Amino acid sequence: MPYAPTAEIKDYIRLFGEAAANAVHKAGFDGVELHGANGYLPDQFLQDVSNKRTDEYGGSVENRARFMLEAMEAIVGAVGQKRAALRVSPWNTYNEVRMADPVPQFSYLVEQLKERFPDLAYIHVVSASAMGGEGPKDVSVSVRGLARHSRS
């Protein structure tokens, strides 16, 4: 199956912002959380086991994070940082999406989120044991460890 063209990806990113605006400004939600976990579309771009693209949305850690960061930018642009959040699942095996070493990818993502959106409502990190996931071999790399690791 061929990969979606960049124009189509940009359209999906725009739709994330539109959906967030509708939820907050029309439906009265307090905020929105982008579901970037469990092998859902944003997670598929992030994970090297599912993202085999060779363009600006694949390959490197930075390129694989691009879709999620651009989706968050669209959401934040639509509703503001304090009403935007993100859910991720670095160690989850649900939907067969689990990198051998998620620390570099998710540390980069967290660092970029901190830099770009310092007032983001929250980052919801799914527990390593959720849905049959297995945590990191090095227990110092935990949910809190991602944030600490991203500072180095």
- pLDDT tens, position by position, 58-110: 999 999 999 999 999 999 999 999 999 999 999 887 777 778 889 999 999 99
CA distance 91 to 133: 6
Please give the Cα distance from 118 to 58 (Å, whole number): 26
The number of residues in the chain equals: 152
In which band, very low, low, confident or very high, does the pLDDT at 1 lie, cut at 50, 70 and 90? very low
Radius of gyration of the chain (CA): 15
Task: Verify whether residue 40 is a known catalytic residue.
Answer: yes
**pLDDT class of 149 with cuts at 50, 70, 90:** very low
- Tens of pLDDT, residues 27-66: 999 999 999 998 899 999 999 999 999 999 999 999 999 9
* Mean pLDDT value across the chain: 87
Contact 118/72 with Cβ under 8 angstroms?
no
Helix orientation angle between 103-116 and 143-151, rounded to the nearest 10 degrees: 70
Q: What is the pTM of this model?
A: 0.85
**Given 40, 57, 108, 122, the catalytic residue:** 40
